Amino acid sequence: MNANRKLIAVVLATGALLTGCASNSQQPFGGGYNNASSSASAGYGVIDSIQVAQGENRTSGAGAILGGVVGALAGNQIGSGGGRTAATVAAGVAGAAIGNNVEKNRNAQGPEQYQINVRMDNGEYRAVMQDSVYDLRVGNRVRIVDGRVYRY
């Protein structure tokens, strides 16, 4: 019974640790830019820069927790005494890493996204995420309508 308590403690500690590492930050790709896609207002400005925003696969931490639990349960079947505890912890950490990678690959973004940074006429900066830049270039005069950038 004492081994079960240790296992539960290890699994809970691993889950708490991994959940604390998960990030749900929704900050824009570049610094100092407001996210224009959250506002429905229209405005005029000039494109300051265009960046490819690819590979920002974020995870919720659920894959890491589930992988950690499965790994800890599998590791608990190995050895006895102190060796069993070490195997449980090591397998839990490995399972968490594998689970996090599986979740990241599953949530992979399909097509590329572009962040278009626009210096507005009123001096404010906005960042707009779009799936295509069409004929947009740095220095173009543009209009932002409903979170999309159009040449003006």
What's the pLDDT band for 81 if we cut at 50, 70, 90? confident
Contact 147, 128 (CB under 8 A): yes
Contact 67, 95 (CB under 8 A): yes
Mean pLDDT (whole number) for 84-90:
85
Residue 42 is predicted with a pLDDT of 76
107 vs 95, higher pLDDT: 95
64 vs 109, higher pLDDT: 64
Residue 151 is predicted with a pLDDT of 92
pLDDT-wise least confident of 17-21, 55-59, 90-94? 17-21
Q: Which residues of 2-11 are buried (b: 16+ CB within 10 A; e: fewer)?
A: eeeeebeebb
Walk me through the domains of the chain, giving residue ranges and CATH numbers: 1-22+58-108 (no CATH), 40-56+111-152 (2.40.50.100)
Residue 150 is predicted with a pLDDT of 93
Distance CA 142, CA 136 (A): 9
What's the pLDDT band for 48 if we cut at 50, 70, 90? very high
- CB burial of residue 60 (10 Å; 0-12, 13-18, 19+): middle
Tell me the sheet residues that pair with 34: 126
Average pLDDT, the chain: 77
Distance CA 111, CA 93 (A): 32
Percent of the chain with pLDDT over 70: 66
Q: How distant is the alpha carbon of residue 110 from its chain centre?
A: 14
Distance CA 56, CA 23 (A): 12
Question: In 3-state terms, what secondary structure has residue 147?
Answer: coil
Residue 126 is predicted with a pLDDT of 93
